[in-house]
Structure 1
Amino acid sequence: MNFVDKVKVFAKGGKGGDGALSFRREKYVEFGGPDGGMGGKGGDIHLVADATLGTLLDFSRRPRLLAGDGRNGKGANKTGEGAEDMVIKVPIGTVVYKNDRLLADLAKPGDRVLVARGGRGGRGNLSFKTRQNTAPRIAEKGEPGEAAELELELKLIADVGLAGFPNAGKSTLLSRMTMARPKIAEYPFTTLAPHLGVVEHKRYSFVMADIPGLIEGAHAGKGLGDAFLRHVERTRMLVHLVDPMGFGGRDALDGIRVIEGELKAFSSRLAAKPRVLVVNKLDLPEGPVVLEAVRRRYRARRVFGISCATGQGIPELSDFLVTEVQTLPRESGPVVPGPDRESLEVKPGFLIERVSGGFRVRGPYVERIATMADMTLPEAVARFQFALKKIGVDRALKKAGIREGDAVRIGDVEFEWTDAPFARLPRLPRTRRVRLL
């Protein structure tokens, strides 16, 4: 199975159903009145953390998430059926960014986040009935669903992370201590993806992660780069596995300095984690010599010697890790900000921009009422214009220097500005005429 830990996804909530323009038609019932029902709500899109998944591979094959649309309203005051919400499973440890802002950290099984909200259903003409206008010929279109660019980043959650140069024996150690079976070979960069395994030792257990080998410059993207360094950010402690033969022309002591420097350069938080040095390959002649040299250089730190080939020293290392893990606090994810104010309440603020041939009006509230207005209905056009006047768009456009015949674009609606007034309509004041382009 391919390991994918970072993907970009487009998510769009479902469109709300259109409201119905309908009048009651029943034998012996004169002036039945309006009975158009509301449209159904569009589907939301949620992400939920699932312990059975370990990669974001499915998203690389399915980069677009589109929720279903709500059904249109009907006569007899029948509300359209709402669309089902889309619930997508992601691995535990998935960090979600929405439009380049941190949205959620799904660190526990069942953690859930709404990433794209479905549009609300449009109101039918029954909703617009008043004492002054008992037969309204107006209905709203459904609200479009929210669209969002998502970036999903997987950070594996483990208690102990294995770090070191390629070919130091990390995968072999993982297979020795757990039931995991990563690929093992006698050449560098055998491990191209992180692997997790559960260590069970003396009635205790913890999760260990094997991270692909690091080289100098990894924090800046060299070699396998920093793509996998983020996976050890969530570990509670690190085991730095040392190859006594060195790597890339560096001896073991110089190699320790390089790896420690890479951890510090990538993240001060990572460099501050508890670490233990473990010299591997004690079955080789160089092993015991390097072990003594490392212990002399790093007197203040715990240094273990093991042989993944023979199993020497692994029980003692397991004893230490089990005891140490129990004393360390669990990693907490990044602080997740609360929802944007505009996502909780749509305010009537707007911005006017001068563009070629006219003006563009931007703002969530004004764009929503423009999108939901059915411009084929005169009453809907009048209501839309009245709303623009009420929130000050008329006045702002005049102040910006709009002239007769200039084009005005709001969302997907474009019309021509004119000072000619509307004919009188029930319960609506005289307002400006909209000529759709």
Structure 2
Amino acid sequence: MADNSGFLDSVKLYLKGGDGGNGCLSFRREKYVPLGGPNGGNGGKGGSVYLLADRNLTTLLELAYHPHRQAERGQHGKGSTKDGPYGEDLVLRVPCGTSVLRNGKLVSDMLEDGQRYLAAKGGAGGRGNTAFKTQANTAPHFAEKGEPGEEVTLRLELKVLADVGLVGFPNAGKSTLLSRISAARPKIADYPFTTLNPNLGIATHKGKSFAAADIPGLIEGAHEGKGLGHKFLKHIERTRVLVHLVDPSGFDRFNAQQSVKVIAAELKKFSPKLALKPRIIAVNKADLPQAAEAYAKIKKTCLGKKVFLISAFTGDGVDKLLDEVIRELNSAPIEKPAEPQAPAIARHYMEPLFTVERTPAGLLAVKGREVDRLVLTTNFDHPEGVIRLRNIFRKIGLNKALAKHGVQDGDTVVIAGREFDWSDAAFRDRPLRRLRLVGRAAREARAKRPRHPKQYHG
């Protein structure tokens, strides 16, 4: 849930690609053209849903207000072989630094401005009856329905993109330092947990610019989620340099020296990579009487670390701190985006056309991507379309597979969520060799055919 600042770093989306348009069942009907033939157009492809990284966005709040999103469906085909227009793609903008997770696995890490990710693919348009015209069936009386669009559930997690992360216990002066080195104006007050969400600012020092993030205060046990530790720590995973601000008065039951060790331990426990990042220690509030003593003790115990005494309020020592930050940034590597999770070894296998299993309720369930597509695109209002589906099932051996599982007349067979009553007699029929025109139009066409005149001999 977002707070009053409008910042939101996690959201769940329910996305659906647009359905494909239905194919058209139509015949050419013109004067003096009794056998014009089929002219039904194909349906248009449904629009797809894309995620687009936008550097001008800083929160996922807008997506949270409308988590259910669907792209436009394709238009239906028309007569005169007119194909339906494609559905318009739906583009959802997300902040740079957004991780896209599907079923708990990372599928895309959107770090660069303009990066796109196909989230939900639109369904293909159904074919009109013109597409099924053959020499054996010159007037097909059926057309396909459009395929349904892909449905997905995604979890988006935003991790702030910054070069420098300001960390430390609450009320250490992180927000004050950010306001000192940049134009950012975070909320500042003399009590812990004033900052509840990361604040970003662009700092410029001696011609060098970098992005700095003020991370809300951490407490002991943050790596376990205490004090919303998980929510805060994830925002410094992508930083290159950490600036650890220390309050010389300490925090809670920890003095200044102990607070340095506690924060360092929390970073390491949350992620070993955080412990390897360059970390600069800055003892803040130099105007306090105990600041000089705390600075001397920390510098003595933290060998190998750069330690500075600064006052974020007055600006004393801040320039020297920024000099060191620039030096560390020049040598710190730029982290590469995380690769989507994939199996270590690529395994290629032939997916079966279908599988048959009996459900606990006694129904026979047929599963398979191609079989599902055939059922979903068949228009059961067109008898010839049903006959075509039945013939395809016979050719791929579905009737034999069901017979092995003991199917009987009257049993219910489930395919693509649709229930069918099994009839063995339908599959014993021979497939139609030729389909004839039926109805009034066919009779009128046959009546207009020229007849051979009788031959008379004188």
Instruction: Compute the TM-score of the two structures, normalised by the length of structure 1.
Output: 0.93
Distance 1:399 1:255 in 2: 71
- Residue in 1 that maps onto 2:403: 398
Residue 317 (str. 1) matches residue 326 (str. 2): no
Residue 16 (str. 1) matches residue 40 (str. 2): no
- Residue in 1 that maps onto 2:448: none
Distance 2:89 2:168 in 1: 44
- Residue in 2 that maps onto 1:93: 97
- Residue in 1 that maps onto 2:271: 267
- Residue in 1 that maps onto 2:378: 373
- Residue in 1 that maps onto 2:419: 414
Report if the CA contact (8 A) 2:281-2:307 is conserved.
Answer: yes
Report if the CA contact (8 A) 2:278-2:328 is conserved.
Answer: no
Opposite residue 244 of structure 1, the aligned amino acid is P
Distance 2:189 2:47 in 1: 49
- Residue in 1 that maps onto 2:84: 80
Specify every segment of 5 or more residues in structure 1 that has no aligned partner in the other structure, as ranges: 340-344, 430-437
- Residue in 2 that maps onto 1:361: 366
Report if the CA contact (8 A) 1:348-1:366 is conserved.
Answer: no
- Residue in 1 that maps onto 2:151: 147
The farther-off stretch of 104-113 and 320-329 is 320-329
- The one of 329, 332, 339 aligned to 2:336: 332
SS at match of 1:334: coil
Opposite residue 55 of structure 1, the aligned amino acid is T
Distance 1:223 1:311 in 2: 30
Write the deviation string for residues 126-176 of structure 1: whole angstroms up to 9, x where unpaired. 000001110111110000000000100101111010111110100000000
SS at match of 1:224: helix
For residues 138-287 of structure 1, the aligned pairs below 5 Å read 138-287=142-291
- The one of 291, 294, 297 aligned to 2:298: 294
- The one of 341, 349, 353 aligned to 2:353: 349
Distance 1:337 1:95 in 2: 12
Report if the CA contact (8 A) 1:47-1:90 is conserved.
Answer: yes
Distance 1:221 1:427 in 2: 70
Report if the CA contact (8 A) 1:346-1:365 is conserved.
Answer: no
For residues 16-165 of structure 1, the aligned pairs below 5 Å read 16-165=20-169
Report if the CA contact (8 A) 1:43-1:84 is conserved.
Answer: yes
Opposite residue 156 of structure 1, the aligned amino acid is V
Distance 2:350 2:76 in 1: 24
Report if the CA contact (8 A) 2:46-2:86 is conserved.
Answer: yes
Report if the CA contact (8 A) 1:307-1:314 is conserved.
Answer: yes
Write the deviation string for residues 261-306 of structure 1: whole angstroms up to 9, x where unpaired. 1111111112211111111111101111010000110121111111
Distance 2:395 2:341 in 1: 34
Instruction: Compute the TM-score of the two structures, normalised by the length of structure 2.
Output: 0.89
The farther-off stretch of 397-406 and 290-299 is 397-406
SS at match of 1:421: helix
Distance 1:157 1:109 in 2: 12
Structure 1 residues 23, 132: closer, same or farther in 2, change over 3 A? same
Distance 1:166 1:389 in 2: 71
- The one of 370, 384, 387 aligned to 1:382: 387
Q: CA deviation at 1:363?
A: 2.3
Q: CA deviation at 1:59?
A: 1.4
Q: CA deviation at 1:247?
A: 0.9
Aligned length: 425
Opposite residue 408 of structure 1, the aligned amino acid is V
Report if the CA contact (8 A) 1:383-1:428 is conserved.
Answer: no
Q: CA deviation at 1:219?
A: 1.3
Distance 1:126 1:297 in 2: 83
Distance 1:424 1:402 in 2: 20
Write the deviation string for residues 86-127 of structure 1: whole angstroms up to 9, x where unpaired. 111100001111233321111010000000000000000000
Report if the CA contact (8 A) 2:47-2:73 is conserved.
Answer: yes
Identity over aligned residues, as a percent? 52
Opposite residue 410 of structure 1, the aligned amino acid is I
Report if the CA contact (8 A) 1:12-1:45 is conserved.
Answer: yes
Distance 1:124 1:363 in 2: 24
Write the deviation string for residues 174-194 of structure 1: whole angstroms up to 9, x where unpaired. 000110000000011000100
Distance 1:395 1:172 in 2: 76
Distance 2:20 2:422 in 1: 29
Q: CA deviation at 1:396?
A: 2.4
SS at match of 2:51: strand
Opposite residue 375 of structure 1, the aligned amino acid is F
Opposite residue 354 of structure 1, the aligned amino acid is R
Q: CA deviation at 1:230?
A: 0.9
Distance 1:210 1:115 in 2: 32
Report the RMSD for the aligned CA atoms in angstroms: 1.9
Write the deviation string for residues 213-246 of structure 1: whole angstroms up to 9, x where unpaired. 1111111111122012111000011111111111
